[in-house]
Structure 1
């Protein structure tokens, strides 16, 4: 309607993005078609190497721009990175994930027994139990903070997932304790706001980041590959965030959803005092 009344197809917002950029981020076919027909600039980069057309090449709307003048295919390595990220996101299922207050840690290559030992417990004393047989009262917040659940997740490579209705799976001390010789990435979905990720490698804290925000120019490529820029998504909300954390730990798995389910059978570990805060 605006275009029909003379609106500028390449008007810029406060971040120098055009309507076609926003239509690409929303994967909005009607808007993309209308803007291209109105002569919108498809290929000029607007953030780092990313133009609206380059974004669209990573979506089901790629055929709308692939044959336009100036089109260049995505480099093979980047196209492969998007395919791998999409596959990992799909591993977290098609249903919404309950995530408020959820803490999740992904650690590569380790068995359940080894993770439990690194958490300071005896594997023989940590049997697999269902959600109704937890060794603590899930309504007692002090007790909840003292326990984490451990479950193996197969993959190439696989590893383990550690979960809690709390922040401990993303705590630097816990990540350092379990990451000797490997990598561990913890995510905490803070109910007060923000989703935060923490990486440890070979027993050392590497840093913390807020995850899921629209990437800026200097952001790591993985934030583009896991579609943090995409405002309309075909996958459950935040599935790409957990997939990003899984990839940050080096896991490549086919089914991550059950391993994150607090009610699914898993081995509950009482944390030693030095890992609790």
Structure 2
């Protein structure tokens, strides 16, 4: 076990990257600015994502290469992705290149065009602006997040399916319709309530919801819904966080994903990298967006479904 003896980077937490005197003292005592055994990323990247411009400037002054990459991205990319414009400016002042290609075409400079500070860097001649599709995705993210609003409760599940109606979802699931009064009575029996889901038509498709459980996003439900289309599912697990899945044409394509997270791999598509940036901490909105759904409000996820259904036992 590492001992926090005041040397190296031992004992430094994410909140400590705003403490200039502490970080400077560690550096003066011999902590390596180019590596940190206790972090999944090198110190300058951690400071760019979590720290202050003063700490970023101090580390940038001491590293061997301010443009060094960790897992396909530079510290400047981390600052832009984390919406830390002050940290980004400190890195540019230290000489980092905003337009260095990385992350499947998303240089820090190009990604900044999708942020709340699109004028963060001077746009050079010859660089690619956001495409029409990307510009529309940025605008839709703002609209969709506002439409859904803040969803503070955990424990719900959803399945966002493109291109089918609520009536078609009922048919595919071989479900039995209930009226809302019946649902309220059934909800008193937690075990029985796990067979009950709501379904709502929204522009672009429909949404299955279970406000009190995981069943809307289980594999059997998503496989049936996704035949000939795509379905993005989410269980907001109160114990372990958001658990996502993607089904396409009746087959689970991805399982145990983390929608609404802030981590992305260089191997991801350019579209997925942009979506991950736009929907950080917005797991539900991410699922709607990736399925191409465009709700005008949040009733499809807040228990105001168009119809309530009892699922067959084998789909629980």
TM-score category of the 2 structures, normalised to the smaller one: 0.7 to 0.9
How far, CA to CA, are the matches of 1:76 and 1:150 in structure 2? 32
Give the count of matched residue pairs.
258
8 Å CA contact retained: 1:185, 1:200 = yes
Secondary structure of 1:40's counterpart equals coil
Partner of 2:223 in structure 1? 176
Q: Which has the higher helix share?
A: 2
- Match 1:146 to one of 185, 195, 198: 195
Q: Deviations over 1:96-119 (max 9, x none)?
A: 313422211112344434333333
The aligned residue for residue 219 of structure 1 is 268
1:174-226 deviations in Å (ceiling 9; x for gaps): 12333444433221123332423233344444342513341101113343222
Structure with more relative contact order (C-alpha pairs < 8 Å, separation 6 or more): 1
- 1:136 is aligned to 2:179: no
**Could you tell me how far 1:56 is from its partner in structure 2?**
0.9
So what's the TM-score if we normalise by structure 1? 0.77
Instruction: Say what the alpha-carbon RMSD is for the aligned residues.
Output: 3.1
Match of 1:189 in 2: 236
Task: From the superposition, tell whether residues 128 and 118 of structure 1 become closer, same or farther in structure 2 (CA, over 3 Å).
Answer: farther
Residue number in structure 1 paired with 2:302: 261
1:244 equivalent in structure 2: 286
> Distance between the aligned counterparts of 2:307 and 2:102, measured in 1?
48
- Tell me, which stretches of 5 or more residues in structure 1 are unaligned? none
Match of 1:41 in 2: 97
**TM-score using structure 2 length:** 0.68
Matches within 5 A, 1:95-134: 96-123=150-177, 126-129=178-181, 134=184
Q: Distance in 1 between matches of 2:66 and 2:174?
A: 59
Moved more, 165-174 or 140-149: 140-149
Shift of 1:261: 0.7
Unaligned runs of 5+ in 2: 1-53
Q: Give the equivalent residue in structure 1 for 2:207.
A: 160
Structure 1 residues 217-264: Cα deviation after superposition (integer angstroms, max 9, x where no partner): 1113343222x347xxxx8x732x222222333323332x221113x3
Q: What's the CA shift for 1:270?
A: 1.9
Residue equivalent to 2:313: 273
Residues 46 and 112 of structure 1: is their aligned pair in 2 closer, same or farther, counting only changes over 3 Å?
closer
Structure 1 counterpart SS, 2:199: strand
Distance in 1, matches of 2:72 and 2:292, equals 35
